[in-house]
Structure 1
Amino acid sequence: MQEVGEVLHLASSGRVIIRLTKQLRDNQVVVDNSGVKVAKVSEMIGPVDAPYASAVPLTNNIKKQIGKKVFIVEETPVMRPKRFKGRRR
């Protein structure tokens, strides 16, 4: 796991604001230190030098995560979705 930032607060829109230490991509999932999925990044905001992420929470008790560090899990080839599902013609 690689640390990517800290959860700052819950916005009025229902999204989580994360102060980042590393650039992330959209739709990337962040987890807490025990590996539980916390949020899914929806967009990057703020300056390039000090980026923030607006993320959709993936847990019901997101308020417990405020002030805690978040991580990403390195994507392995096994975790990537397969390109073709079903029968090929």
Structure 2
Amino acid sequence: MTEAYDSKNKLLLDAELGEIGEIMHLAKSGRLIVKLNAQGAGIKPGELLVDAAGRRVGKIVELLGPVSAPYASVIPMTDRTARLAGAKVFAGGQARPPRPKQQEKGRRRR
């Protein structure tokens, strides 16, 4: 996916990307539950979701339910989760992989 930014450095969504689902509700665990549509069926855990304005909504942790009608469990990247119910979401690319741990200075491992 190519990314483009407008003058205010907001991520612009590609026209071919399209909507992948809709946020249903906030679960008791604190995760967002997203009902995926036909375009969202190919999405994988670890991908980021953005809203229509290009702001990050969250990261997909796991896929739930039957293959014919999948749902996604998403860790929110915002604290305004109550407003997100009913919002359309779009794929926003892969999350960065975790950085490798660096060895502490002054200590040698043997």
TM-score (norm 1): 0.79
RMSD: 1.7
State which of 26, 49, 52 in structure 2 corresponds to 1:33: 52
Deviation string 1:46-89 (CA, Å, 9 cap, x unpaired) is 000000000100001011111010011367xxxx88xxxxxxxx
* Secondary structure class of the residue paired with 1:55: strand
Match of 2:103 in 1: none
2:21 is the counterpart of 1:5 = yes
Structure number with larger C-alpha Rg = 2
Supply the AA of the counterpart residue of 1:47: P
Gap runs ≥5 in structure 2: 1-12, 98-110
Q: Which residue of the other structure, out of 57, 65, 69, is the alignment partner of 2:88?
A: 69
Question: What's the TM-score once normalised by structure 2's chain length?
Answer: 0.65
State the SS of the aligned residue for 1:73.
strand
| 1:19 alignment partner AA | K
Query: How many aligned residue pairs are there?
Result: 77
Secondary structure of 2:73's match?
strand
The CA distance in 2 between the partners of 1:40 and 1:74, in whole Å, is 10
User: Relative contact order: is structure 1 or structure 2 higher (C-alpha 8 Å, sep ≥ 6)?
Assistant: 1
Structure 1 residues not aligned, in runs of 5+:
82-89
Question: Which runs of 4 or more aligned residues in structure 1 lie more than 3 Å from their structure 2 counterparts after TM superposition?
Answer: none
